[in-house]
Each structure stands twice: as structure tokens, then as C-alpha cells.
Amino acid sequence: MKEKSEVAEDLENEVQEDISKTVEENSSETEKETEEVTASEVEKAAKEEAEEQEVEEAESDVLSQVKNMKKHDASKLLVDKAKIIVQEAEEQMEACKLLLSDDLKDYEKAKQALKEGGLDASEALLLELGYRNEEEENPEDENVVFKMEEKIEPIILHDVSSGRFTGLLLALLGGATTLTGLVYLATEKLGMTLDVTKVPSSDTVKNILSWFGTLIGTKGDAFLGGAFVLFVVFAVMGIIYAIRVGTKGSKNLQFALKQLEEAEEYTAQKGNCKEEMDKVDAHINDAIETFKMYQVLLNEQKGKLQRISHIEGIKEEPSEYHEKSLLEMKDTQSLINAIHEFIDTPMSEEGKLSGKSTLLLYSAKNKIQKLIDRLY
């Protein structure tokens, strides 16, 4: 029995030989294929450039919309935009997961059809004929075909507040503090001492307001003094409120822009996941078609093995069979080994399509092509 490392090395060498042979056989078509690939790459690059341009235009459109808006309204619009693009990315990813789930179901059905349509019977006939497998058999333990590992942390978007409520509270606090300060200033100038535990008398209030009246050029007018006090208090409250709302609006706008950038980055990462899922989708569908082809060929090989068993009987040593019979056994075993190698290897590697699985699928398809080339 060969060691696993030797088997892997032999497989890699065999695939490399197959690739070299394919390149040599198709050398006359190289220029044409190169032109097709180049055209495809140019088209793909143009498509990516167009998509980037659309994103830039969309961002420019959003920024132009918020340019002349109030900061709070602009912030709300940006947050809504971020929520929309995240939702679209999530919906797109869910669609990819659903597609992958359907693909895996179809894959399992195709694999089961292959086993029942020639694979199991061919293996049993080879065993019955006493043909020994020269390669190490892989265990048939059930494995996870593809496991998606999404490493992207979910993004949480927060709404923005206008700051009006906190601005009102701060304005009331500032107004009360200003009023207290003004009263204290007046009592100090008048040489009065207020008892804070009692409500001041009307005369005391009149004297204090009259003093403020003198500040605006009147002769102790309590009414004008009271108006002056109210003006100062409300002016302070208005300034505090405006500063709070304005500062909050600026912070909200910066916060909303940052969230929009994070949402776009999140969407880009989700887009990369979608691209990977598209590769897996293509790989699984390619595998299903390969299973169908193997089912046809192994069903045919099963008939040949049955013919050998019926005509030549069961020999004690494989060398006693006819040379052509041995070749049919070898071909059958080669097909079985190739498809088992692919089936027993998980398609996923850290949540992405495994390079080894891709290589083994290529090898399995190449085995088919070799047999077909010899038959026709």
C-alpha cells in the first residue's frame, strides 16, 4: 500500500503530465484561445470599471442630495441609505446560501445515482474477479461536501437623534443658572441677603428688578428690569440650545458618513462572498455533469466486467485473464479511483472552494477524456 503522501504526489505528477499533454495536443489552437481569454478579461475589466463608476455616481448623488439639507436631515438620509445597501447585501447573500443549498441537494442526488447506476456494481465485480487495486483506497466516511464559513462580523447601524431634547434640558439648566446668577449679582449690588428657604416678598422682587432697570438707563422701572432679565435668560437658553443642536448635527453627519462607509465596505466584503459562492456553484454543477458521464461509462464497464466473468470465469490470478480483459479492469479501476478521490475530498477549505477539489475534478474529467479518446 502506498503512503498517502506518495499517492498525492503520484496524483499531482499524473495531473501535470495530463496538463502537458493537453497543451501539446492543442498547441495549434493556443492563439485563438488566448484571444478569447483576452477578450473575456477585457470584458470583465470593463464590467468591473462600470460597476465602480456606478458606485461612485451613487455616492456622488447622495452627497449632492445632502449638500443643501439640514445636518440632521442629511444624517437621517445617509443612515437610511446605509441601511438599504446593507439590506440588499444581506438579501443577496441569503439568495446565494439558498442556491448553494439547492446545489448540494442536486449534488447528493447525482452522487447517489452514480453509486446505484454503475459505481457500486463495478467495484463489486472487480472484487469478484480478483482484480487488485494498485492505489490506496480512500475511506468512504461521510464528509461535509461544502461548509460555508462566513467570517464577516454583522454590522449594526444606529439611528441619529436631533439633540433637541438634550438641548432643551441644557437650555433650561443654563437659564436657571443665569437667572440665579443675575439675582445674586443684584442682591450683592443692593447689599441684600436673600433667604433661599423662603419665597422672596414682592417688595424684594421689585427692588431687584428695579436695579436691573437702572442698567438699561431707566429710573428703577421694575417692568423694564424684568423684561431685561427675561431677555438675558432666554438669550442664554437660545444660545445653549443652538450650540447643542448644531454640535449634535455636525457629530451626527460625521457619524452617518462613517456608517455609510462601513456599510459600503461591508457590502464589498459580502460581494466577495457572493463571488466565491458563484465559483462553488459552477464547481458543483460541473461535478454533477461529471457524475452523469461517469454513470454512463461505469454502467458500460459493468457490462464488460459481467461479460468477462461469464465468458472467462473467475481466475485465481489476474494475469490469467485475457490481455484485453485486464485492460478493461484497469480502465474501470482507474475511473473508480478518480471519482472516489474527488467524492471523498471536501470542496471547502476555510469557507472557500478547495484548490485540491478543483484539481481532483479536473483529473476525474481527464480520465473520462482518455478513455473516450481510446474508444473513438
Report how far residue 238's alpha carbon sits from residue 232's, in angstroms, rounded to the nearest whole number. 10
Q: Is 348 helix (H, G, I), strand (E, B) or coil?
A: strand
Report how far residue 22's alpha carbon sits from residue 25's, in angstroms, rounded to the nearest whole number. 5
Report how far residue 4's alpha carbon sits from residue 19's, in angstroms, rounded to the nearest whole number. 22
Query: What pLDDT score does 53 carry?
Result: 55
pTM above 0.75, yes or no: no
Q: Which of 344, 317, 333, 343 is nearest to 367 (CA)?
A: 333
Report how far residue 184's alpha carbon sits from residue 193's, in angstroms, rounded to the nearest whole number. 9
Query: What pLDDT score does 8 carry?
Result: 45
Q: Is 352 helix (H, G, I), strand (E, B) or coil?
A: strand
Report how far residue 270's alpha carbon sits from residue 250's, in angstroms, rounded to the nearest whole number. 30
Q: Which of 361, 329, 321, 323 is nearest to 344 (CA)?
A: 361
Q: Which residues of the chain have pLDDT under 50?
A: 1-8, 11, 15, 19, 22-23, 25-40, 42, 44
In the chain, where the domains are located: 35-68, 164-249
Query: What pLDDT score does 62 carry?
Result: 59
Query: What pLDDT score does 136 carry?
Result: 55
Q: Which of 103, 120, 101 is nearest to 112 (CA)?
A: 120
